[in-house]
Structure 1
Amino acid sequence: MQVRNKKLLGMLACASALSGIGVVASTQVPTISNNLTAQAAKTSVAARQYGVDVASYQSSDVSSFANAGGQFAIVKVSQGTTYRNPKASSQISSAISNNMMPMAYHFATFGANASAAVAEANYAISSAKALGLPNNSYIACDWETGSGNNVNGAKAANTNAILAFMKQVKQAGYQPLLYSGAYLLRNNINTGSITSQFPNSLWVASYATMGRIDNPDFNYFPSMDGIAIWQFTDNWRGLNVDGNITLLPLSYNSTSTQAPVTATTTNNSNSSFAEQAKPTNNNTTTSSSSEVKTAKTVMHKAYIYDKNGNRVGNSAIGAYRTITVLGGVVQINGKNHYKIGDNQYVALGNVDGTLRTLGRNAYVYNNKGQRVYVPTLRKGSSVKTYGTRVHINGKSYYRINKNRYVKVGNF
């Protein structure tokens, strides 16, 4: 969540322009003292509750986010071994006074260096204590591109360094989380090793589109095992703050532990993300009831494969059909797939797309080659494309969403 480095996380699930919906809460807020000493009024949040993460770029007073429906605030406390957020103490106090559960995060600069990770963890812990974070609350390791953090080390080394950080946090009496973008989590970190030691400890960033988003679109939920929190926008309800939503209940007290390994799924408003959505095609079959289920939209015609990578007949799921993904990402012959039924898989790229970086500013077009007047996609932005190149009026395009295309030459 390093400001302006988010595009490097590979967060965008698509690049269509979506307008925000819902009512924006008033931004008129009362004055709050920076010297609050009250104990946290909220020590738990249920599944599917909104929250924000803040740094020195946001106000010391977080009441506007609480008024908008925020139930928790994750405050940046430190970075490296020399920086502390000068507003963190006030932000934590403000969160407590506004009945928001306080948590913290540390921006990592240790890359793949485990010994440096331990040093940074110790600094994050001392910072959190000094800035008023309650004991046994959560401290997240924010591991992403930016500020000298090298994400290009070997996956095993990256993972070991992150684990070293998280172990120090745990030993100090806090609950560790790992924050990063979906792309880095899938490609640069062995998340299975992380969640085997710290179940449901992932905080993943993945945006459906750039700009304001009021409520998350679950068609773009980045399915993978172990997610506790989803950051779905960097402009929640027009408040210019990251918007997050919980996948599982989170809590802390003198005896609390890491989030439960198994999510509870119900049909009420407090159910987890993993709703029991039914597939709308005849190509999927039921599977183990213990697998997390997530509804997703197929963005490009998807053939069905078995666990060995062999195509199952000639049937395919058409674009824009809804499917139910069972569990997280599955690798078959070195390629990422989603499980949709017993011994039935579809290529992840046909659902989540392929991440590409724009080499220049890009306009968006429809399937007739006519420009669609939505915000211009900026050079350097990460965009998901679906399927192979298509030709419209003699020019090559990549599809980025339903009836939305960008010229190949812009990448």
Structure 2
Amino acid sequence: TETKKTDKQEPVKIPEATPETKTDDISTTPKKIRLTHNAFVYNKHGKLIRKGLHIKWIKRDKLVKVLKNAKIVKINGKRYYQIGKNKFVKVANFEITTHAVHFKARLKGNKKVRAYNRAGKFNKHYARPNHTYTFNEKAKINGKTYYKIAGTNNWIPAKKLALKK
């Protein structure tokens, strides 16, 4: 009888894809964000990090340096910024800073223009055609440039504006 010599191969490690954690596209992470208030810190399972009866939280002023290259992670369908090993803070606690501008512009065309909120979703408001508005903020939303009408939460796409001379 002949015996075949087999090479011992190490098992190939396949990265586990868990349904509770998955990363989003890192390019969606804005460059400048600000914590709007003190925030709780969560672990990779979406549970609060506790030390006895005390819940771990972060002061509003502390996260400036840490979040420059933070990536967005989805845990149980909610979005978090990863701020350290097994430390996450909810994205909802942050505000994206925008560029301050101040100019007047006329809306192009003869049809009313849809207005959007800061997340780029239609907010059931319209801007009047051929009307001049004052804009006070500029931001990139979903890769497109939008301007905010002063005194409102209405963002208008840049391609719909005709700069006033």
TM bucket, shorter chain = 0.3 to 0.5
- Structure exhibiting the larger radius of gyration computed from Cα positions: 2
Q: Larger % of strand: which?
A: 2
If asked which structure has higher relative contact order (CA below 8 Å, sep 6+), I would say 2
Query: TM-score scaled by structure 2?
Result: 0.39
Q: Larger % of helix: which?
A: 1
